[in-house]
Structure 1
Amino acid sequence: MDQPKTSFSFAIANLEQTERLGRWLGSRLFPNSVVALLGQLGAGKTHLSRAIAQGLEISNERLVTSPTFVLIQEYPARLPIFHFDAYRLANPQAFRDLGVDEYYSGGGVCLIEWADRIVPALPEQYLEIRLEIVQQDVRLCQVTAIGELYRKIVENLRLDWSDGPEAS
């Protein structure tokens, strides 16, 4: 069954705005949240993940690094953070084989980089964040609620950021 989608797109002009967005999102995520991060190499997926971890009150955001070679990192925070990287996985089944369904219902927040590679293994509802490189420091960011669980986050983001990220 196709889930309803609610989207909001905007430009991010620099790393500080990426950090502000991540902290904003992290402060609003709830137990069993799933955030699918999409974008080409260098688009800022790991930087945004680190900022989301800040919003989740991680004690040391420098611990958040790309989990490309270990596939998953776990971090303690206000809610446990389960940080996945699907870049090296052959297919969605390889992602499922990591025991991801247990993480989805583990009471924490799942951050999944390169989620476009494993879409069939994503839960029915999730928050999708697509980053596209426009210029060296500028990104086009599209935040999409897949399903009703995340609709309020996207609607509030649209309201809070309608005057630009500096206003939030």
Structure 2
Amino acid sequence: MEITFSLEQINEVAKQILNSNPKKVILFNGPMGAGKTTLIKAITKLLGVEGATSSPTFSLVNEYLTTDNKSLYHFDVYRLKNETEALDMGIDEYLYSGNWCFIEWAEKIPNLIPEAYSIIEMKLNTDGKRTIQLTC
């Protein structure tokens, strides 16, 4: 599925993503400034996360609880030097928990990604719109 959208349409795009039944582990690929974190915020809201969400750039992972008391994890592994650092933080326990896991910069940990995952490729277009390609 490919969608081109403006930021004003991001909530509708988040609905379309969830309606496409993606795997619970979703890799968000794209350059800095493409809107990965903004899209993840919209998706987490639809999944029942109330309150503020933010990029886990420095903490590597943010855990959120949904209104039905389920955990949801948002990773930003950009700052990792190698996969060993991810293993040291226990990333495998998160990824195999059965909960939603949204991962930015997953190309840093290719050997740790579970077999079942979806990918969202994002790009920022010259007109300010974003284009995503979802592969389930």
Q: Per the shorter chain, which TM-score range?
A: 0.7 to 0.9
**Cα drift, residue 26 of structure 1:** 4.4
Alignment partner of 2:46 out of 43, 46, 55: 55
RMSD across aligned positions (CA): 2.0
Equivalent residues, number: 134
Separation in 1 of the partners of 2:116 and 2:13? Answer: 21
The answer to whether the 8 Å contact 1:73/1:84 transfers is yes
Show the counterpart of 2:55: 66
Q: Unpaired segments of 5 or more residues in structure 2?
A: none
Change (3 A) 1:24 1:54: farther
Separation in 1 of the partners of 2:81 and 2:124? Answer: 25
Q: What secondary structure sits across from 1:66 in the alignment?
A: coil
Alignment partner of 1:129 out of 120, 129, 133: 120
Regions of 4+ moved over 6 Å: none
Is 1:119 aligned to 2:110, yes or no? Answer: yes
Show the counterpart of 1:16: 8
Q: Unpaired segments of 5 or more residues in structure 1?
A: 1-7, 146-168
Higher mean alpha-carbon deviation, 129-138 vs 81-90, is at 129-138
Structure 2 length as normaliser, TM-score? 0.86
**Cα drift, residue 93 of structure 1:** 2.6
- State the identity as a percent: 35
The answer to whether the 8 Å contact 1:38/1:131 transfers is yes
Structure 1 length as normaliser, TM-score? 0.71
**Cα drift, residue 9 of structure 1:** 2.2
Is 1:81 aligned to 2:72, yes or no? Answer: yes
More helix per residue: 1 or 2? 1
